[in-house]
Amino acid sequence: MSHGRKTIVLGLLVALAPIGAGCGGGATTSQPVPPPEVAQKLPKLPRRWQVHRDRSIGYAIGRPPGWQVTRSRTAGVNAVLIRSPDHLLAVTLVAARDPEALGVPLEQFATTTLAALPGFKTRLKPSKPRAFPGTPLDAVETVGNGTTKARGIKERAALLVLRRDSVVNYTVAIVENARRSYSAKDRAVALRMIRTLRDQPIGRPVAP
């Protein structure tokens, strides 16, 4: 992968920043009280997959065999990086529970974030967002292709937004080496993994 851990995480945070800033409206209004956040049960996982939970970010997911999960804190925001065993693909995930992020339409959130991802020679052009099925969360996906500034590598980027209405917004960036045809296999596994993503309250113990 041409993106290092910091580049992926920081890039996603930089891309997300204008979204929250652009929907304030100027006037101060009272925000509705969000519903209680109750842990979602994970689905039955494929054989040899393991449950991975992170209460600092507030999520649970099925981890495929050999995939590495690391967490970092950049600009005061917790993020998780999940990498395929061959390092041809990286998944970056951040969560937002603020009204500003939750108030942006999913399609707008996805395309704006993908287009703003840095590190490419030209601005990425998001595809028309489409529904991302197979998850209890409201979810959309958009994709774009570009060449990295640093090493001139062609990469495919997918941006998924998964939302639990009025509770949490998960933003997931999947970046893969487009020159390696077998990275498509990693992508299929990554998308299957994202379909196991479930909401978990921050800092609270959850049942297995």
Return the CATH superfamily for domain 5-22+45-199.
Mog1/PsbP, alpha/beta/alpha sandwich (3.40.1000.10)
Both tokens of residue 199?
A: 């909401």
Q: Which residue has the tokens 């292709």?
A: 145
Assign 192 a pLDDT band (cuts: 50, 70, 90): very high
Rounded mean pLDDT, 48-68: 96
Structure confidence by residue, pLDDT tens digits, 28-53: 455 566 678 899 999 999 999 999 99
How many CB atoms within 10 Å of residue 32? 8
Share of the chain above pLDDT 90, in %: 63
Task: Return mean pLDDT, the chain.
Answer: 85
CA 177 to chain centre: 18
Structure confidence by residue, pLDDT tens digits, 98-139: 898 899 999 999 999 999 888 889 999 999 999 999 999 999
- Confidence check: pLDDT of 21 > 80: no
User: CA 169, CA 13: separation in Å to the nearest integer?
Assistant: 14
Q: Which residue has the tokens 């840095």?
A: 118
Q: What's the predicted TM-score (pTM) here?
A: 0.85
User: CA 5, CA 14: separation in Å to the nearest integer?
Assistant: 14
Q: How many Å is the Cα radius of gyration of the chain?
A: 16
Greatest CA separation for the chain: 52
Angstrom distances, CA of residue 66 to CA of 45, 125, 153, 194 = 15, 32, 25, 16
